């Protein structure tokens, strides 16, 4: 089983501020830790250790999704960029994305541009997502 590399993890930790108290993200979803949304409710509190444990657990799901859904060969950097992306947008969105369709047809070069289409939260273009997608695209292209 493949796992996200240090470069991919760094993108996530730079993009996601670790919050030990639940909050609503820009899309209005209850969030805690390093961007975890699983079983989160407002008023919830966790420790730093629990935040790291949640991240690793949530990343396993994103890794499984990339391993299962991507049908073409990936470098470690390509895999890790996609895990960061799936961690942020969710499996369902990834499954129906044009990015996945194009990648699985062998169009590796289309991936950075497709990533750049996913920069909105709550209907608004967010600078943090623009920066994150650029970092994921850069990692995807790095051999």
Give tens-digit pLDDT for 30-51.
Answer: 999 999 999 999 999 999 999 9
- pLDDT bucket at 119, cuts 50 / 70 / 90: very high
18: annotated active-site residue: no
Number of domains in the chain: 1
Give catalytic status of residue 16 as yes or no: yes
Q: Which domain holds residue 30?
A: 6-141
User: What integer pLDDT is reported at residue 62 of this predicted model?
Assistant: 96
Give me the CATH number covering residue 42: 1.10.530.40
Q: Which of 18, 25, 50, 53 is catalytic?
A: 25
Q: How far is it, in rounded angstroms, from Cα 18 to Cα 15?
A: 10
**Largest Cα–Cα distance of the chain, in whole Å?**
45
pLDDT at 123: 87
Catalytic residue selected from 16, 63, 114, 136: 16
Percentage above 70 pLDDT, the chain: 100
Whether 98 is covered by a domain: the verdict is: yes
Cα 69–70–73 angle (5° rounding)?
155
Q: Rounded distance, CA 108 to CA 27, Å?
A: 29
Interhelix angle 6-15/48-69, rounded to 10 degrees, is 120
> What pLDDT digit, counting tens, does each position of 102-117 carry?
999 999 999 999 999 9
């Amino acid at each position: 089983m493949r796992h996200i590399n240090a470069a991919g993890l760094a993108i996530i930790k730079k993009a996601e501020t670790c919050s030990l108290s639940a909050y609503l993200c820009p899309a209005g979803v209850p969030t805690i830790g390093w961007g975890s949304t699983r079983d989160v409710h407002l008023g919830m509190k966790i420790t730093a250790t629990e935040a790291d444990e949640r991240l690793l657990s949530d990343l396993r799901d994103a890794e499984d999704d990339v391993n299962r859904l991507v049908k073409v060969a990936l470098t470690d950097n390509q895999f890790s960029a996609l895990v960061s992306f799936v961690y942020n947008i969710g499996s369902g969105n990834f499954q129906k994305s044009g990015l996945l369709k194009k990648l699985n047809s062998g169009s590796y070069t289309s991936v950075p541009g497709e990533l750049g289409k996913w920069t909105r939260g709550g209907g608004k273009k967010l600078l943090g997502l623009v920066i994150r997608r650029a970092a994921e695209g850069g990692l995807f292209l790095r051999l």
